[in-house]
Amino acid sequence: MTARSRARHPRRRDSRRRRLDHSRRGAAAVVRETMLNTAAAGGALCILLTLAALFFQVSLIMFKTGSMAPTIPAGSLAVVRSVPVAEVRVGDVVTVERQGKLPVTHRVTSVSLSADGHSGVLTMKGDANPVEDPAPYTVSTVRTVLWSAPGLAQWVAKASSPFVLGGVTLAVAALVTWSLWPREEQAGEEHAGQVGRDGEERRTEQLSEAAADA
Average pLDDT of span 105-115: 95
Is 155:89 a contact under the CB 8 Å cutoff? no
Model pLDDT, residue 3: 47
Model pLDDT, residue 6: 46
Is 97:139 a contact under the CB 8 Å cutoff? yes
**Would the CA dihedral through 73, 77, 79, 85 be positive or negative?**
positive
Neighbours of 152 (CB within 10 A): 16
The confidence band for 155, taking pLDDT boundaries of 50, 70 and 90, is confident
On the question of pLDDT at 39 being above 90, the answer is: no
Is 93:150 a contact under the CB 8 Å cutoff? no
The confidence band for 74, taking pLDDT boundaries of 50, 70 and 90, is very high
Taking the model in full, what pTM does it have? 0.59
HSE value, Cβ hemisphere, 13 Å, CA-based, for 19: 6
Is 124:107 a contact under the CB 8 Å cutoff? yes
If we measure between CA atoms, which residue out of 122, 158, 129 comes closest to residue 143?
Answer: 122
On the question of pLDDT at 181 being above 90, the answer is: no
Helix 3-56 to helix 162-180 angle, to the nearest 10 degrees?
140
For 122-151, the pLDDT digits (tens) are 999 999 999 999 999 999 999 999 999 998
Bigger pLDDT: 149 or 203?
Answer: 149
The confidence band for 99, taking pLDDT boundaries of 50, 70 and 90, is confident
Bigger pLDDT: 167 or 79?
Answer: 79
Model pLDDT, residue 139: 95
Report how far apart the first and last C-alpha atoms of the chain are (Å, whole number): 51
Model pLDDT, residue 51: 75
Distance CA 26, CA 164 (A): 31
For 9-19, the pLDDT digits (tens) are 555 666 666 66
